[in-house]
Amino acid sequence: MNYPVWNVPYIGSGLVIGIVAIVHVLVSHFAIGGGLFLYLTEKKALREGREDWLKRLPGYSKFFLVLTGVVGAMTGVGIWFSIGLANPAGTSTLIHNFVFGWATEWVIFLVELSLAAAYYYTWGRLPSGVHVRLGLLYAVSSFLTLVIINGILTFKLTPSSAWLSVAGTGKEAEHFFEAFFNPTYWPSLALRTLVCISMGGVMSLVFFSRLDSEKEGEVKRGLIRWASLWLLPAFVFMPICFIWYLSMVPESQRELLSLGISTIGVGAFTQVTRLTLIAILTTATIVGVVYFLAFLYPRDFEFGHAIAVLLLAFLATAATEGAREMLRKPYIIFDYMYSNGTLKSAVGKCNEEGYMVHSPWKINEGMFESGNLRGSLVMELGRQMFLGQCVSCHTVDGYRSMRDFLYDRDETAIGNILAMMRKTGEGSPYSKFMPPLVGTDEEIDALKKYLVSLTSPSKGKGVMEVTSGERELQGIVKGN
């Protein structure tokens, strides 16, 4: 239909999104928690007459403004850019469903960024009561950005039965609020709020750990202790909120987790479990390190310690976001659209009439002539099936490498895998993490031939190399 395939060699488009997203998640949660930290810390310092604290806050708010305003905003745009390329059909669904939500979000972003700048530039220029209130306004507006984006993010895993019942009919907008305040909305908001508060603490530890223990020992002791307290809410409430969240996840997806726990070992199912375990362990380590190093011995807490905590937070974020993504597999929008852009409702049609003609990707130009595949293009058809249905999760030679998965398998074995992949639901062990393979027998056979060619290194062509079929096709499209 429309979209060119974005094929990222070796790492795959999913990992590109993942890397940008992890940085963004850290910084954007800090943008909320750090704002609250600035507001409450300024207020506390004023109330308790702590001049020495007040002197350190303008520097901190500059660090805050630069980090959130530059890195936060850039990675935010980076996510849009990469998801728009990797998953245009899914991104388009999100945009069309939530136009009004996005519009509101952009306005709040503008308000938020302006307030962060105003807060920094008015230190010492406004009466302190007014300045504190500016901080409060910032904290509220930045929290509102989460209130909105959280609805759209959680929608992908639990789009709500009301929305699903009209999905694809053009009437989705009537169920905006059911889709927005979907089943995982509230537990996810609670979890993310806890993460925000923790990030406010972690980044403050990073910033204030640079205070000199000798010359500024007293102020360092106060600020490091105060910052480490910010991890307490997560420590107390995270487990409860996590269980609440899981209870709202669809049964079929929750199984991915329990299945992984009972069969820890190999296989994709357990990736969710492994990632969840990593997240729990790193979070527990963070709490331990912060308590024993920062809270008990605040003066001796050094920059290196703080960076270690930050790296652990990075790991925990990567693991949780990864687990959240895996939990939704094989869908991009649960029960509606698969990760490769194929609609669940289009599976039957694709099997009968062909994947190429119904694919959301612009990959079928010139392949067929009055319904028949042009003679020599079988390999090219297989390669395009691979581009259309597999590269959103696999690469040829890198991350989840197809060559590695297939290296010791012959044509019959590959044929068996593909036959299994065509089944949906209980019929296939793959259906838990891969979309059903769709297409006519002719198309599937072409995919098989292409995959077989990958297993023999001498003649195997990667997706990036221009094949003779592709050259021929370009000739056909150009009309010469």
Residue ranges binding ligand HEC (CB under 6 A): 267-268, 329-330, 339-340, 389-390, 392-394, 400, 405-406, 417, 433-435, 437
CB of 218 to ligand HEC, least distance (A): 52
Closest CB 348 distance from ligand HEC, rounded Å: 17
* Closer residue to ligand HEC (CB): 95 or 417: 417
Which residue lies nearer to ligand HEC by CB, 235 or 433?
433
Structure tokens at 264: 């820890």
Q: Which is nearer to ligand HEC, 223 or 268 (CB)?
A: 268
User: Based on CB atoms, which residue is closest to ligand HEC, 244 or 405?
Assistant: 405
Measured from the CB atom, the residue of 70 and 464 that comes closer to ligand HEC is 464
Q: Which of 378, 399, 369 is nearest to 443 (CA)?
A: 378
How far, in Å, CA of 206 to CA of 187, rounded?
A: 29
Measured CA to CA, the distance from residue 102 to residue 85 in angstroms comes to 19
- Least distance (Å) between residue 270 CB and ligand HEC: 9
Question: What is the distance of C-alpha 217 from the center of its chain?
Answer: 40
- 426 by Cβ neighbours in 10 Å (0-12 / 13-18 / 19+) ranks as exposed
Given the complex with ligand HEC, which of 50 and 409 has the nearer CB atom? 409
Maximal CA-CA distance, the chain: 84
> For 473, how many CA atoms within 13 A lie in the half-sphere containing its CB?
21
Alpha carbon 396 to its chain's center:
23
Minimal distance, residue 425 CB to ligand HEC, in Å? 16
Contact 105, 112 (CB under 8 A): no
In the complex with ligand HEC, the residue whose CB is nearer, 133 or 422, is 422
How far apart CA 137 and CA 112 sit, in angstroms, is 9
Q: How far is the CB of 130 from ligand HEC (least distance, A)?
A: 52
Of 196 and 438, CB closest to ligand HEC? 438
Comparing CA positions, the residue from 123, 98, 240, 106 lying closest to residue 181 is 98
Least spacing, CB of residue 446 vs ligand HEC, in Å? 12
* Shortest Å, Cβ 421 to ligand HEC: 6
Q: What is the identity of the amino acid at 379?
A: M
Which CB sits closer to ligand HEC, 76 or 330? 330
Question: Are 142 and 35 within 8 A, CB to CB?
Answer: yes
Closest CA to 26 of 194, 197, 199: 199
Residue 429 C-beta: closest distance to ligand HEC, Å: 8
| 427: CB partners within 8 A, 6+ apart | 420
What is the distance between the alpha carbons of residues 249 and 323, in angstroms, rounded to a whole number?
13
Smallest distance from ligand HEC to CB 73, Å:
30
Say how far residue 113 (Cα) sits from the centre of its chain.
Answer: 23
Task: Work out whether the CA dihedral 122, 127, 128, 132 comes out positive or negative.
Answer: negative
**CB neighbours (10 Å) of residue 396?**
23
Task: Give the closest residue to 145 by CA, choosing from 118, 179, 110.
Answer: 110
User: Smaller CB distance to ligand HEC: residue 309 or 437?
Assistant: 437
Minimal distance, residue 433 CB to ligand HEC, in Å: 4
Task: Find out whether 231 and 33 touch, Cβ atoms under 8 Å.
Answer: no
